[in-house]
Structure 1
């Protein structure tokens, strides 16, 4: 059988407050306001014949929990290393925090607003 590559994903959510300086929708953005964020971390690769896994999902969950605790119930404007609390920067922050897992994709979205950002990495063998 040809090389088989699979993608394993884990989702999590966090609630946080932030403010943004925008050119439009300024009243709702500039003031401090809260959001529920959802995120998905994906890793891609071959199945390890020794373990039968692309990655150990328990390890993935444990490392995600460390990142989630940095973001949940926080003022994102004050999270060290995040920068301006945009969806784009949240993707980059999560990717950096989980870099040892070599994620193939990070998605962050706000269901209520319908906004989403996706960071994809080249995972070609």
Structure 2
């Protein structure tokens, strides 16, 4: 008899619009000026579904925590977001992970990407 795996991965996506500057070795002039992007993010949670609810975690709880975090990023100057550091995709992934992990212990991965220029970063535990 074939049995299905018992671990599931669920996710929630969100977006935020934000401005930033960045010191870089290439594309320096345009990066140093304040400019903005629409960032997309996805948080992944991994675990075994509860036998009574059938859920790894109630997605309503995930959406609530994501909404609180989104308020810290949406329409802000990322250079001024405390605890972010230089506003790179890597640091955004770390920031989101650190912010959500205490309230969402099943958090296993965070992905941030910018559709307009095709770049992305994924941070996994």
> What's the TM-score once normalised by structure 1's chain length?
0.93
- The answer for unaligned runs of 5 or more in structure 2 is none
Indicate yes or no: 2:20 matched with 1:14: no
Match of 2:59 in 1: 57
Match of 1:115 in 2: 119
Tell me by how many angstroms 1:50 deviates. 1.8
Tell me by how many angstroms 1:19 deviates. 0.3
CA distance, structure 1, for counterparts of residue 109 and residue 61 of structure 2: 17
Match of 1:92 among 86, 91, 94: 94
> What's the TM-score once normalised by structure 2's chain length?
0.93
Tell me by how many angstroms 1:3 deviates. 5.0
Tell me by how many angstroms 1:116 deviates. 0.2
- Runs of 4+ aligned structure 1 residues displaced above 4 Å come to none
Aligned-partner SS, 1:74 = coil
Length, aligned pairs only: 121
**Once superposed, what is the RMSD of the aligned Cα atoms?**
1.0
